Amino acid sequence: MSTALQLENVAIRFGGVQAVDGVSFAVEGGDFVGLIGPNGAGKTTLIKIVAGLLRPDRGRVTLGGADVTDEATATRVRRGLALTHQIVRPFREMTVLDNVVLAAGIQHTSSPFRALLHVNRRGEDERAAHILGLVGLAGTERKLAGSLPLGQMKRLEVARALAVDPKVILLDEPLAGLNHAEASKQVETISQVHRRGITVILVEHNLEEVMRICRRLIVLNNGLVIGDGEPRAVMADPVVHDAYVGGGMVSHAEA
Amino acid sequence: MTAYEISIISIVGINVILAVSLNMISGFCGQVSLGHGAFFGAGAYAAALAMVATSSVPLAILAAILTGCLLGIIVGFASLRVRSDFLAVTTIGVNFLFIGFVRKQSWLGGEMGISGIPATGLGASGNMIMILLFACATIAFSFYISRSWMGFAFRAVGEDEGAGATLGINAGAYKLMAFGIGTALAGLAGALYTFFTQFITADAFDFIFSVMLMAMVVIGGIGSTWGVVVAAVGLTLLPEAIRFVNDYRLLVFGGLLVLVIRLAPGGLAAMVRGLVLRVRGA
């Protein structure tokens, strides 16, 4: 398997805080990686750097072998990167279907000139409806996205990310704010995404679920990677264990 | 048809082009522009210079469209740098800058403007028909845009640029496109205005006029082509039909604007849509 995503010595500083302090790792195509760490460990910052929402002070990010460190988010997305936001950001004034259709039409919207010459959206409509069924949102197509309850909005985020037909998908706390039933549905969807051959990088507080579904665990603390490997082995590492207990967070997996 | 009717219809057609083109920038793509008069003026001056130099109508139209578009893309670059509320202030500044610049340029006639612009040779009714044809084409183009993937992406950029980026939409390119198309059409309207009056001064393109155009867009229903067309026609005819409105034009337009924003933010278009839904439901 080739390398889908690689970070080399990535670092960023906010004022007096070294949020990410020289992080390097590579993710193989088709892998399922959990990115965890106590609050303030730098997980979301790192995800934002990978997504192009933040520019690192130093280091390199490569996607499928191409250096994307200086590329905008939209360009990375067109290279096959998809992401869901921790705080959901649907287009509230559009219908649920339109939200996903817009993502599915990524080839048409790559440039305004191309977009101006295309009107037909039948293919995208069908694909979007299929994806909505996949994430369990069938029947909500005509509703305004802003009217959905949080659990469904979280699934809409996943649907939009899937619709851009990504090679790598970054999920930033896709379970946060969901009740138990909603969370297990969402986990099922995420597993399906992975089974389709998409590389998944999951940032999540819900350790129980992360341990259950991820094949590899990367643990961040104070902007550094302190553990990386098979989930159970990583969690058994005393350094990781200390960081979690010291950080005031107790693993559900151990409870 | 009387000369008065011909001139009113011509003005209505020009205002429709202006309001519909402003709606592409502010309605479709969400970029508040309060300086549309400047692009209209730039087109009018470009057309006037071209007519004086060559007397060629196609050349004058081309010069007006290119000048409006060029200026629009330059201002569009500002929209990439600033937040939407500050963009409104920037475009107001552009409008004042345009007026201030034109008034001081002797080659643009300074305070006196440009007079003695050669006629198109189409006559007043011919000009009117040309204006109406361009207005219809603008409306049709506007409908086409809102149905195309570009209109779709415009809505996304207008609502949330960041979320758009995660769907691979380059917000900057779309904003420049919206400014480029909208101001090119404003330039076209400027050329038609020049053909219509054969005499232009800077005052016709001031900030107050830009606010009136924005009032047409907001009252009609921001983003709705039909709503904006209806509002542009209505608000152009209103001062002609009612003497009081003509005397207190700014007061009436300002009052309407405040009322619509306060009571019906979707404008005429949303009101009609609501009514249709209620009738169907009953």
Domain of residue A227, CATH code: 3.40.50.300
Question: Is A160 within 8 Å of B166 when comparing Cβ atoms?
Answer: yes
Nearest beta carbon to residue A89 from set B145, B160, B171: B160
For residues A133 and B144, give the distance between their C-alpha atoms in angstroms, rounded to a whole number. Answer: 31
The answer as to whether A224 is a domain residue is: yes
From chain B, the residues in CB contact with A117 under 8 A are 148
Question: What gap in Å lies between CA A133 and CA B58, rounded to an integer?
Answer: 54
Mean pLDDT of chain A: 90
Checking if the pLDDT of B244 tops 70, the result is yes
Q: Is pLDDT above 70 for B89? A: yes
What local confidence, expressed as pLDDT, does residue A205 receive?
Answer: 83
Dist CA B130 CA B133 (whole Å):
5
Helix boundaries (H) for chain B: 3-22, 36-54, 57-81, 84-103, 123-147, 149-159, 161-165, 171-197, 207-220, 225-241, 243-247, 249-263, 267-281
**Residue A253 predicted with pLDDT over 50:** no
Q: From CA B60, how far away is CA B249, in angstroms rounded?
A: 32
| Cα separation, B76 vs B87, whole angstroms | 9
pLDDT single digits (tens) A83-121? 998 888 999 999 999 999 999 999 999 999 999 999 999
Interface probe with A: pick from B28, B80, B152, B181, most Cβ of A within 10 Å = B152
How many domains does one find in chain A? 1
**What span, in angstroms and rounded, lies between the C-alpha atoms of A126 and A137?**
14
Q: Which pLDDT does position B245 carry in this prediction?
A: 79
Look at residue A1 in the predicted model and tell me its pLDDT: 58
Domain presence at residue A129 = no
Which residue segment(s) compose the domain that A168 sits in? 3-87+162-246
User: Is the separation of the CB atoms in B233 and B154 below 8 Å?
Assistant: no
Of all residues in chain B, what percent carry a pLDDT higher than 90? Answer: 76
Average pLDDT, integer, range A5-10: 95
Q: What pLDDT was estimated at residue B242?
A: 84
Tens of pLDDT, residues B215-234: 999 999 999 999 999 999 99
pLDDT band at B241 (very low <50, low <70, confident <90, very high): confident
What's the token pair of residue B242? 């009612």
The pLDDT value recorded for residue B154 is 96
Token digits of residue A160: 């939009």
Q: Could you give the percent of chain A with pLDDT greater than 90?
A: 68
pLDDT at position B211 over 60: yes
Distances (CA, A) of A4 to A55, A71, A171: 20, 16, 16
Q: How far is B83 from chain A (nearest CA, A)?
A: 17
Chain A from 41 to 70: CB within 8 A of any B CB? 51-53
* pLDDT above 50: residue B259: yes
Longest dimension (CA), chain B: 65
pLDDT at position B273 is 87
Nearest to A72 among B165, B167, B176 (CB): B165
Please answer yes or no on whether B155 and A103 come within 8 Å at the CB atom.
no
Average pLDDT value for residue range A6-26: 92
| A71/chain B closest Cα distance in angstroms | 11
A217, A230 Cβ separation under 8 angstroms? yes
pLDDT of A25-34, one tens digit each?
999 999 999 9
For residue A78, list chain B residues with Cβ-Cβ distance below 8 A: 168
Residue B137 or residue B111, greater confidence: B137
Residue reference for tokens 């044809």:
B133
pLDDT band at A250 (very low <50, low <70, confident <90, very high): very low
* Confidence check: pLDDT of A137 > 70: yes
pTM score: 0.90
- Place B98 in a pLDDT band, splitting at 50, 70 and 90: very high
